[in-house]
Structure formats: C-alpha cells, structure tokens
Amino acid sequence: MSNTSDTLTKSFLQLGYEIIDGGRYTYEDWSESMKEALKANIQTFLNLSDSLIDSIIKELWYKDYTIGVDTKSLEKWAETIRNSTEIYKEGKAKIDVLFSLIKKYRSSEFFKSLLQFCAHFKELSPYNNMLVKTQMPSARYVLTARQWTDRYNRKPKDEARPLVILRKYGPISFVFEIGDTCPIQKSLWDDDDEIQSILEQVSHPYAVGNGKVSDKDYDNLMRRLAYSGIDKGKTRAGADFGAMIRKTTNVATVSIRDFQNNIHEIRTKTFYKISVNERADKSEEFASVCHELGHLFCHHLTPFSNEMWKLRLVSDEQEEFEAECVSYLVCERHGVANRSWTYLSQWLDNNAEVPPISYENIFRAADTIESLLKEQLPQDECTRGLLYRYDKNYKKEIDAILNASKSKCATITKINYEDHE
C-alpha cells in the first residue's frame, strides 16, 4: 500500500470491514464487492488500471493492521465472522429443538415469565433476552463485563458464568448476571443491599409508557413498510377487526434519499397488503400492524422469493399465538397499549404447556420489527428491508442511485462495532 496515504488506507480498511460484516467473507465475494465499491466511491481509482486495483485489494486482504488494541488482517476478521455465523446458524437450528425437548421450557409458567422478561428488559433485544433467560431462568439484570465496570464499578466474579448473546455486525458476546458480579473496590454497603439498590435504579426499563405510540415509532414503522414490499391501506370493518395481511402483487412509489440529500421517486413492486380498520387510532393501528408483521416474519405467508424463508404450515392457533407474542413484545417494549397480553395470559392460564410454536421465529420477528423503529440514516432506510435483500431489480436501482451520489461526495459510513443489539 506504498502508493496510498495513511488516510486512504484507513478508509479502505473501514470499507473492507463493512463488506465483510455485510456477509461477504470469502475472498472471491469480498474482492468483487470491494472492487465495485472502490470504483464507485473513491475518485482516485477512476484512473487506475484493473491490475493495480487487484493488487491493492489483495494486499488489503492479507496484510496485518493494528485496529485499536488488535492486530489482524481482513482475512482473519473474515474467518472470525464466518465461524461465528456458522455457530449462530447451528444454534438457530437447535433453539426450537431445545424448547421442544425440555419440559420446563414448554410450561406456560416459564413462557409467561420469559415473555415478561423480554418485554420489559430493554437493555438487550428480544432475541438476546430470550437467549439469556434460556441459559439462566433466574436472570434479573445482565450487562457485559465492560458495562458493569463503567456503570457500577463492578466486575464478574472469578466463578461467574458467562451468558452468550449475539452481537450485531460481529461474533458472539458475553454478559453476566448481577448476582455473578462483585464490587471492584471494597464498599461500606453489604453487597446484597448494593445489588438491590442497582435493581431499583434500573427499574425504569420495566416502566410502561402512557399507552400511546410515539410519533417517531409510528412514522418510522409505517414509512418503512414500503421498503419490504408491504402496502398498507384502510378498510371499513367492525370494532373487533384490527388488521389483516395477505399476499398480493401491486406497484407502489417509494422515496429514496441519496447521499447529497436529493429525493428520487422510484416505482417498485409490493408483495403484501396490510388492511387496517379505519376506526383504529394510531396506537391501535400500530399494535395491529405489529401483529400482522408477526405473521409475515414468523413465516406464515408465502415468500416472494425462493431465497427467502420456507413457508411454515402450522395451525391457525399456532399462527395467532405467535403473532400475538410478537405484537406483545414490540408494543410492551415501546409503551404501547395492546390487547395481546389478555389473549396470551388467558391461554397460558388455561393450558399447562404452550402450543408447538417456534421460539426462534417469534423473538427474531420481534427483533426485525424493532429494527424498523430505530433511527437510521435516510440513505440507509431503502437498504434495510426485504426488497433490497431479495428483489434484484430493486437492489440494482437503489445501488445505482446511492453509488452515483457517493462517488460525488466520497462518503464512507463508519460502523460502531461496540453496538450490542
């Protein structure tokens, strides 16, 4: 990399890490994406030969660089991501087997406590909460070792049991239950009293809002449906009707903001339609849409691409139970009043065991919906939905718009690798 400055090298490395974290962790896939990205984003490369670009890319892949306190090559980072992905895929396949085999996990009592823990503890995503509760049913409050030190001057005990969670953009991470931590320095407090004090301090994650959806959550969710090929409309219906999702094929216009803040209107296909009761207020509409998205992301509907999920053929009771769980988790975590808990608690009180549901799909679906509520760069919104992942024509058009604007302003977005979601 002798022909490039340190600043350019750091930019190339950052871009290289982003491409790997995006799932391209073989050299063939990575180098092809890297070449396209460099040509589109770095004006300097417009006058370089393909052979020189190939040489630079190859050196980037194999050379060791010091990032923070670690020294490793992009090749080694790709291996780490690949291994953690394979571990996740293997674990994902076993989650539902685990719940089906262990009687305790099938009990209505355990499932009710699991739902309430995941709904009210907002430090982690619903899926990671589920992983924590599965590993330690008595868990009350968990943080990483670094978070325990930074926030409460505590550390994991020598015999502490690490709990595995999944890390966004990277491999697995570990958290520790408060009972498995101790003060770094001696305290005048009895540790049991200190633990109780901390639990009282963090009681706010369990607080419920005023029952109304925030304008930000409502607007983010409704606006971003289109990027997953979902159309939404109103329908006249009785008071007991919330919403309904169905497979359909139509055309809609979506707005794309490029890196120079220009707005592009493009025509794209919609594959699903959510019809919402016109009588519903915003909070009721939000809860109903979350329920219908629960059906979609729990794979109750036919996918529009062969690369997507496999349609799950389950009973109506299983479908409704799973969708109600998803709606409850999302709404409760965002302080939105919903009727899902009434349905779920009545069912669980009257039955010793939960129906044969997919825990994996329920909590993953809740994660997916929550990702639609989070703050994003306007330029990222159009790349985070189902269309960008599974509709090649849509992806091609979006990439052309964004890459054209990127090449003019040479903007490279950094990823926060400390984000534990």
- Domain end: 176, 206, 236, which one? 206
At residue 104, the pLDDT reads 64
SS3 per residue for the chain:
CCCCCHHHHHHHHHHHHHHHHCCCCCHHHHHHHHHHHHHHHCHHHHHCCHHHHHHHHHHHHHCCEEECCEEECHHHHHHHHHHHHHHHHHHHHHHHHHHHHCHHHHEHHHHHHHHHHHHHCCCCCHHHHHHHHHHCCCCCCEECHHHHHHHHCEEECCCCCCEEECCCCCCCEEEEEHHHEEECCCCCCCHHHHHHHHHHHCCHHHCCCCECCCHHHHHHHHHHHHHHCEEEEEECCCCCCCEEEEEEEEEEEEEEECCCCCEEEEEEEEEEEEEEECCCCHHHHHHHHHHHHHHHHCCCCCCCCCCCCCCCCCCHHHHHHHHHHHHHHHHHHCCECCCHHHHHHHHHHHCCECCCCCHHHHHHHHHHHHHHHCCCCHHHHCCCCHHHHHCHHHHHHHHHHHHHHHHHHCCCCCCCCCCCC
Q: Are strands 70-72 and 65-67 parallel, antiparallel or unpaired?
A: antiparallel
At residue 171, the pLDDT reads 61
At residue 6, the pLDDT reads 61
The one-letter code for the residue type at 319 is E
Say if residue 241 is in the same domain as residue 357.
yes
Give the side-chain half-sphere CA count within 13 A for 364.
16
Say if residue 79 is in the same domain as residue 118.
no
Say if residue 239 is in the same domain as residue 312.
yes
Burial class (CB in 10 A: 0-12, 13-18, 19+), 6: exposed
Say if residue 220 is in the same domain as residue 202.
no
Say if residue 309 is in the same domain as residue 360.
yes
Residue 97 in domain: no
Range of the domain at 305: 215-406
Residue 100 in domain: no
Say if residue 251 is in the same domain as residue 397.
yes
At residue 73, the pLDDT reads 73
Residue 17 in domain: yes
CA R_g for the chain: 24
Neighbours of 409 (CB within 10 A): 11
Residue 101 in domain: no
Say if residue 319 is in the same domain as residue 349.
yes
Say if residue 195 is in the same domain as residue 232.
no
At residue 22, the pLDDT reads 59
Say if residue 233 is in the same domain as residue 343.
yes
- The model scores a pTM over 0.85: no
- Domain end: 83, 101, 122, which one? 83
At residue 5, the pLDDT reads 54
Residue 416 in domain: no
Across the strands, what pairs with 263? 257
Residue 92 in domain: no
Residue 12 in domain: yes
Looking at the structure of the chain, the number of domains it has is 3
At residue 241, the pLDDT reads 84
Say if residue 273 is in the same domain as residue 384.
yes
pLDDT in tens, the chain (421 residues): 444 456 666 667 777 776 775 566 677 777 787 777 776 655 454 566 677 777 777 777 877 765 443 456 777 767 765 655 554 454 454 555 555 555 666 788 888 888 888 888 888 889 889 888 888 888 888 988 888 888 888 888 888 888 888 776 556 678 899 889 988 887 666 777 778 877 877 765 444 457 889 999 999 999 999 999 999 988 887 777 888 999 988 888 888 888 888 889 988 889 999 999 988 899 999 999 999 999 999 999 999 888 888 899 889 999 999 999 999 999 999 989 888 888 888 888 888 888 888 888 999 999 999 999 988 777 788 888 899 889 999 999 998 888 887 765 543 333 333 344 4
Say if residue 150 is in the same domain as residue 245.
no
Residue 103 in domain: no
At residue 199, the pLDDT reads 81
Say if residue 52 is in the same domain as residue 154.
no
